[in-house]
Structure 1
């Protein structure tokens, strides 16, 4: 469980998670054999890079969140236990891990949007949540079209 004390801590946490995901998706892209799958993971990594830069920009916003509404975000590190570095990570496993990561980040940004006090922060967090949902959908479609068909 993670408790944030300042707006900057939240943004730094989000930036750190984006950086972790950039590394994750880049690594997975390099390990996939299909060109379209490599491209999917690389494109997500590029989008995460843009998102990280957007988060850096809102660090200067004053009083971004209502601290009475966001006392404890209950962020769990359950995905940290998944060993995505194993050499025999299957395409199916990579997609499942990616979907779980995107779902967790969607929830995080949605909660941040709920507690946002100013329009810029709220819009930024909603846009970030929406982007996470789109990423999850891309992975779900890929899973549906290529993994479920093969099984």
Structure 2
């Protein structure tokens, strides 16, 4: 494992959150389905909240207070492991958009889990674990929406 400072890790996380926001906004701009657009817009706003938390941590040098009240218990429905569309198009189904979003959130969860491993035994580990939980929460929320849509259609 290569060494990385906490500041560098936070800067990487900030960059990841900015890229996630841009991804969701590009997806939002190309979609036609209003329901899918609303879901994607909400996900983009969550990425903004993450960016703000990380920016505050970088600015103050303090991470111990961020997200410490967060508690979430859930299980992965496994939907994000389904085959994804190869190309994003403006006429994609809501299900395809949701599957892409789930996979994106799951990748973010893994990113934060790896950072938590790098900072094992420190306050930073707890912060990155909480960020991983945030991403898993988003993925699970999307999975539940997906499940509701598929269930209602069948």
TM-score (norm 2): 0.68
Give how far 1:134 is off: 0.7
Q: State the secondary structure of the residue aligned to 1:89.
A: coil
Q: How does 1:62-141 map to 2 (within 5 A)?
A: 82-84=86-88, 86-116=89-119, 117-119=121-123, 121-141=124-144
Supply the distance in 2 between the matched residues of 1:83 and 1:4 (Cα, whole angstroms). Answer: 34
RMSD value, Cα: 2.7
Instruction: Please list the CA deviations of residues 95-128 of structure 1 after superposition, one character each: whole Å capped at 9, or x if unmatched.
Output: 1111111111111111212332521x22321221
Supply the distance in 2 between the matched residues of 1:41 and 1:123 (Cα, whole angstroms). Answer: 28
Is the counterpart of residue 22 in structure 1 residue 26 in structure 2? no
- Residues 20, 136 of structure 1: alpha-carbon distance in 2 compared, 3 angstrom cutoff: same
Instruction: Please list the CA deviations of residues 28-66 of structure 1 after superposition, one character each: whole Å capped at 9, or x if unmatched.
Output: 33424234x43322222111111112222333649xxxx
Contact 1:32 1:91 in 2 (8 A): no
Is the counterpart of residue 12 in structure 1 residue 11 in structure 2? yes
Q: State the secondary structure of the residue aligned to 1:59.
A: helix
Supply the distance in 2 between the matched residues of 1:135 and 1:4 (Cα, whole angstroms). Answer: 29
Give how far 1:147 is off: 3.0
Give the paired residue count.
128
Supply the distance in 2 between the matched residues of 1:124 and 1:115 (Cα, whole angstroms). Answer: 12
Give how far 1:141 is off: 0.8
Flag structure 1 segments of 5+ consecutive residues without an equivalent: 63-80
Map of 2:147 onto structure 1: 144
Supply the distance in 2 between the matched residues of 1:57 and 1:125 (Cα, whole angstroms). Answer: 15
- Residues 87, 29 of structure 1: alpha-carbon distance in 2 compared, 3 angstrom cutoff: closer
Q: State the secondary structure of the residue aligned to 2:143.
A: helix
